[in-house]
A and B are shown apart, each in its own frame.
Chain A
Amino acid sequence: MNRINQKLQENKKLLSIYFTAGFPKINDTVSIIENLEKSGVDFIEIGLPFSDPLADGPTIQVSSTQALDNGMTSEVLFNQLKDIRKMVKIPLIIMGYFNPMMQYGIENFCNKCAEIGIDGLIIPDLPVDVYNDHYKSIFEKYGLINVFLITPQTSDERIQFIDKISEGFIYMVSSASVTGSQNAFGKSQDDYFKRIADLNLKSPQIIGFGISNAETFKQATKYAKGAIIGSAFVKYLDENGTANIHKFVSRIRD
């Protein structure tokens, strides 16, 4: 069984952390992953930086630009991760935009992920229908789970469809926004979280976008299986470096 599915069966609320590979420094990748695991994070999203990340807010965009300036590429990332499974057991997901993967070659990219022990991919600009028509069989061949997004604007019908084809969890975008743009959730989000919970989907939901602290984590996981923190962690790395990652994580789960 894929590590993601095993993790989803655990009887607890899951915390996932996103970081941009190659930021703040090009060689921080492995130590960030190890420290996150040691700090009790449940799974990790490794951001493959892209020059034009149009679903991301300023924090992740700036970190991506910096990472690219530092020399991060798909090849560099794969080299950094080649022995990661000797040290790290929790699920690892690569999150990135479609174009760099396309240039690497989708099959090559998936093959590389499988070799390393990556469990899944999140590709915000790869639409569900294109994935189904062209890439699903490749992902399956390499045992990779592709994670789809839903938003408050996604119709129930489409959510049911996405639920049906999802093999891991559904990435629930907390509100109509790019990454990193909120500090607290209001009633409309609470209603949305509840509405989705009431659909009784087969796939667990993990909420992302706008989760930044213990309070928003708690709000998000009231109905959902877990939550993802991205921009807030990237900002923390920017300000504090990689030395005290456990402090960031323990504040979320206090």
Chain B
Amino acid sequence: MSYFVDKKGYYGEFGGAFIPEMLYPNVKELEDNYLKIMQEPSFQKEFQELLKEYVGRPTPLYFAKRLSEKYKTKIYLKREDLCHTGAHKINNTIGQILVAKKLGKTRVIAETGAGQHGVATATVCALMGIECVVYMGEIDIARQAPNVARMKMLGAKVVPALSGSRTLKDATNEAIRDWINNPINTHYIIGSVVGPHPYPDMVARFQSVISEEIKKQLLEKEQTENPDYVIACVGGGSNAAGAFYHYLDEEKVNLIAVEAAGLGIHSGESAATSILGKEGVIHGSKTLLMQSEDGQITEPYSISAGLDYPGIGPLHAHLYRSKRAEFISITDAEAMTAGLELCELEGIIPAIESAHALAVFNMKKFKESDVVVLNLSGRGDKDLDTYVKYFKL
């Protein structure tokens, strides 16, 4: 079985490009060019240089000694939280801004939920001197004020999405509408492995630097490229796609995708898409998504703004359906506790998204000899307010 995208843009039965005709030329232009551009030596040179000098890669693969002692297994943390702007998101925006430049685009749009992808996009646009417009749900703008301020300082225009539920999915709709209205000069930087083909594949390739580095680093530390487990959280699924990418065909490496169960899977306030979702089409992709009986997309919930997306990327839907990855759901409470534990044991404040992945150690028993790599996708600075309120600090 293949876990990579096929010629028509599908992962198994998921993926494709379910887009209105108005978007066809834009998406086709990207599809025809993204691989070519990514293979150009000049592109690779600039991309690698920026990852090293600007983003701060390679990020460490850190052996978490005290966490390992507590859970009686060998835990390595892939420190994506140390990337410039505080999360893995920038790996993708650096790649896409270079693609946009090669395509001659002069304007960039993006959607954002918690604001991390918006900040990462605003950052690379500032770096390249390209006009940047970020769509963000009106409700998210109110609850993520620091990131809104960061985007503005970086010169981006933040446009509130006022339609529907006024959160991430609506911000994505607005970005797509903007692209329909500005088909010639604009590139849309999608922030996750979602959307129409070729986005899921392109974003996964840009994020695959994560597992590429893990392989090299683990070889040095453990004399093998392959861990027993790779754990990552999944909202849309970009950090997980990056952490899994070079292990997809290594069937001995167990992949664990962690979703947000919110207040509990069956509480009605959850974002556990693989369990609660059904096949459908969202934002141009056929995947698993949370929806009503009648096919209306429902609003997910998680304490972590980066995980409350009603769908998952088609790659992850395929990993779920084919059982290549194990999917585990973690509640708000479990994630918050695990987040605080990492602060106390390792002196690292994780993003609440990444804290969901950390909570797996309380759910699943690993062998003492197991080598477990956990992708620590982001740092918790942006979540201080939530931590403070939750723990009444």
Q: Chain B residues with Cβ under 8 A from A53's Cβ?
A: 173
Mark interface residues in A35-52 (1 if CB within 8 Å of B CB, else 0): 000000000000000111
Quick check: is B106 within 8 A (CB to CB) of the other chain? Answer: no
Interface residues of B, Cβ cutoff 8 Å to A: 16-22, 24-25, 163-164, 169-170, 173, 176-177, 180-184, 278-284, 291, 293-297
Which residue on B lies nearest to A150, using beta carbons? B21
Size bracket, chain A contacts: 35 or more
8 Å CB contact of A126 from B18, B169, B177: B18
Q: How far is the CA of A54 from the CA of B291 in the complex (A)?
A: 16
Mark interface residues in A51-76 (1 if CB within 8 Å of B CB, else 0): 11111011001100100100001110
Mark interface residues in A159-201 (1 if CB within 8 Å of B CB, else 0): 0000000000000010011100100000000000000000000
Q: Chain B residues with Cβ under 8 A from A148's Cβ?
A: 21
Closest Cβ of chain B to A25, distance in Å, is 19
8 Å CB contact of A52 from B20, B164, B180, B184: B164
* A176 and B182 within 8 A (CB): yes
Q: Chain B residues with Cβ under 8 A from A52's Cβ?
A: 164, 169-170, 173, 282-283, 297
Closest Cβ of chain A to B301, distance in Å, is 16
Q: Chain A residues with Cβ under 8 A from B183's Cβ?
A: 153, 176
Closest Cβ of chain B to A114, distance in Å, is 20
* B18 and A98 within 8 A (CB): yes
User: Which candidate, A8-16, A81-89, A100-108, A233-241, is the interface stretch facing chain B?
Assistant: A100-108
8 Å CB contact of A176 from B17, B22, B279, B280: B22
* B291 and A103 within 8 A (CB): yes
* A99 and B164 within 8 A (CB): no
Other than A125-B18, A153-B183, give 20 A-B pairs with Cβ distance below 8 A: A50-B295, A52-B283, A52-B297, A58-B163, A73-B293, A74-B295, A98-B18, A98-B281, A99-B297, A101-B295, A103-B280, A104-B295, A124-B20, A125-B281, A126-B18, A127-B18, A130-B16, A148-B21, A151-B25, A176-B182
Closest Cβ of chain A to B173, distance in Å, is 5
Which residue on B lies nearest to A98, using beta carbons? B281
8 Å CB contact of B283 from A54, A58, A61, A130: A54
Closest Cβ of chain A to B67, distance in Å, is 40
Closest Cβ of chain B to A68, distance in Å, is 6
* B21 and A151 within 8 A (CB): yes
Quick check: is A154 within 8 A (CB to CB) of the other chain? Answer: yes
Quick check: is A155 within 8 A (CB to CB) of the other chain? Answer: yes
Q: Chain B residues with Cβ under 8 A from A103's Cβ?
A: 278, 280, 291, 293-295
Q: Chain B residues with Cβ under 8 A from A177's Cβ?
A: 22, 180-181
Closest Cβ of chain B to A182, distance in Å, is 11
Mark interface residues in A87-128 (1 if CB within 8 Å of B CB, else 0): 000000000011111111000000000000000000011111
Quick check: is A4 within 8 A (CB to CB) of the other chain? Answer: no
8 Å CB contact of B20 from A75, A101, A149: A149
Chain A to chain B contacts (Cβ below 8 Å), 29 pairs: A51-B164, A51-B296, A52-B170, A52-B283, A54-B20, A54-B176, A58-B163, A62-B163, A73-B293, A73-B294, A74-B295, A98-B18, A99-B291, A99-B295, A100-B294, A100-B295, A102-B280, A102-B281, A103-B280, A103-B291, A103-B294, A104-B294, A124-B21, A127-B16, A127-B21, A154-B24, A176-B180, A177-B180, A178-B177
Q: Chain B residues with Cβ under 8 A from A128's Cβ?
A: 21
Q: Chain A residues with Cβ under 8 A from B22's Cβ?
A: 55, 149, 151, 153, 173, 176-178
Closest Cβ of chain B to A235, distance in Å, is 16
Q: Chain B residues with Cβ under 8 A from A55's Cβ?
A: 20, 22, 177, 180
Closest Cβ of chain B to A74, distance in Å, is 6
